């Protein structure tokens, strides 16, 4: 099982220098990959409540956010081998033809180190600000992935669908990787089916590790039934780490507690066949500073 980490591109301590030094620290520690999230707004009166806080407000660190693709392009210029991932880009916010061009540039500039994680988003305020559609999101997502694949494939490129159209065209350069791996965050049955039918793997978050293994087996079975190699689909688990000095005991959430407790969660992720475990240190007290963030990176790396 490989291990990745989230970069400190969120929160008051985030800066171009902090992001680069953290990425270089992760590379020196032999992490497989570094990852970034996408957050468009910090709404003061959210239409959609954040489920993990009592008042429905986003945590304070979401008030400061660097854009994901630009952040990874900056990191690519200052690293050599570590892979670069998005967890996740929200498809309703983007046009796939334009996004394909941006991601191609990142893949070429990084020498073929890109992992693309995609999701649907959840915030009504962000949908409205982005001019995102409010209906047909499922069919739009299917077509979104198809346009990315077409843009990254052989010329001439062409696509005609109900949501997107690309006239027959020469589109260069192409990504260094063929294909660029696409991982989907998904929970609903139709979204899990999308993983099975069009993605290279599943990137769940917020689902207990004890449930992920069974759900991944269902995804692989659906892929095999559709004529794909279900065994080839990758499982990427995102663990939000809250590291404490004392054990939290029974009833704690996955990847929270002492190092020994988190080690048990890492082993549980390994046992269900996780290919890549992304450990996000950002919820641990003290990681608001660069030194604290990198210290937790160092503590977590040996666990995997």
5 Cβ contact partners less than 8 Å away, ≥ 6 residues apart: 26, 31, 33, 34, 35, 278, 279, 280, 281, 297, 300
Say if CB 300 and CB 241 are below 8 A apart: yes
DSSP line for 46-86: -SS--TTSTTSPPPGGGGSB--HHHHHHHHHTT-SS-EEEE
What pLDDT sits at residue 304? Answer: 81
pLDDT tens profile 125-141: 999 999 999 889 999 99
Q: Where are the alpha helices (DSSP H) in 226-258?
A: none
Which pLDDT score, from 0 to 100, does residue 147 have? 98
- What DSSP designation does 253 have? P
Tens of pLDDT along 211-224? 999 999 999 999 99
Q: Is 42 contained in some domain? A: yes
Range of the domain at 121: 9-185
Q: 119 lies in a domain? A: yes
Say if 253 falls within a structural domain. Answer: no
Instruction: Give the mean pLDDT of 189-207.
Output: 96
Residue 12 has pLDDT above 90, yes or no: no
Mean pLDDT confidence for 184-188: 94
- pLDDT tens, 61-110? 999 999 999 999 999 999 999 999 999 999 999 999 999 999 999 999 99
Q: Is residue 25 part of a domain?
A: yes
Quote the mean pLDDT of the chain.
Answer: 96
HSE toward the beta carbon, residue 185, CA cutoff 13 A: 21
* Predicted local distance difference test score (pLDDT) of residue 52: 86
Residue 273 near residue 213, CB atoms below 8 Å = yes
Residue 91 lies in a domain: yes
Q: What is the pLDDT of residue 303?
A: 87
Q: Which two tokens stand for residue 37?
A: 């999230």
Residue 179, pLDDT above cutoff 90: yes
* H/E element, 257: strand 256-257
Which of 161, 152, 85, 74 is closest to 118 using CA atoms? 85
CATH of the domain at 23: 3.20.20.30
Residue 234 placed within a domain: no
For residue 291, how many other CB atoms are within 10 A of its CB?
Answer: 12
Which pLDDT band holds residue 254 (cuts at 50, 70, 90)? Answer: very high
pLDDT of the residue at 134: 82
Single pTM value for the model: 0.97
Number of structural domains, the chain? 1
Compute how many other C-beta atoms are within 10 angstroms of the C-beta atom of residue 79: 20
What average pLDDT score do residues 270-293 get? Answer: 95
Mean pLDDT value of segment 235-241: 97
Greatest CA separation for the chain? 61
DSSP string, 157-223: EEEE-SS-EEEEE---PPPSSSSPPEEE---SHHHHHHHHHH-SEE---SS-HHHHHHHHHHHHHHH
Termini Cα distance of the chain:
7
**Do the domain assignments include residue 3?**
no
| 267 falls within a domain | no
């Amino acid at each position: 099982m490989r291990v990745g980490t989230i970069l400190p591109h969120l929160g008051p301590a985030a800066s171009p220098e902090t992001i680069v030094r953290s990425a270089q620290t992760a590379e020196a520690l032999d992490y497989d990959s570094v990852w970034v999230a996408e957050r468009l707004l910090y709404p003061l009166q959210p239409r959609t409540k954040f489920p993990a806080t009592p008042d429905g407000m986003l945590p304070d660190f979401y008030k400061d956010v660097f854009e994901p693709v630009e952040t990874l392009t900056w990191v690519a210029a200052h690293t050599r081998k570590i892979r670069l991932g998005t967890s996740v880009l929200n498809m309703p916010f983007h046009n796939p033809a334009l996004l394909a061009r941006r991601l191609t540039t990142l893949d070429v500039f990084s020498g073929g180190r890109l992992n693309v994680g995609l999701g649907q988003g959840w915030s009504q305020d962000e949908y409205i600000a982005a001019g995102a559609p409010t209906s047909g999101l499922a069919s739009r997502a299917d077509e979104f992935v198809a346009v990315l694949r077409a843009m990254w494939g052989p010329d001439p490129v062409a696509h005609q669908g109900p949501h997107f159209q690309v006239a027959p065209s020469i589109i260069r350069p192409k990504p260094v990787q063929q294909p660029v791996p696409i991982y989907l965050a998904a929970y609903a049955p139709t979204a899990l089916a999308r993983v099975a039918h069009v993605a290279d793997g599943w990137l769940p978050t917020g689902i207990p590790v004890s449930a992920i293994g069974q759900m991944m087996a269902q995804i692989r079975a659906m892929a095999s039934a559709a004529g794909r190699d279900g065994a080839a689909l990758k499982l990427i688990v995102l663990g939000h780490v809250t590291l404490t000095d004392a054990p939290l005991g029974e009833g704690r959430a996955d990847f929270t507690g002492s190092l020994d407790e988190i080690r048990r969660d890492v082993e549980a992720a390994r046992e269900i066949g996780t290919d890549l475990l992304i450990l996000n240190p950002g919820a641990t007290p003290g990681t608001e500073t660069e030194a604290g963030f990198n210290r937790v990176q160092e503590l977590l790396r040996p666990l995997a």
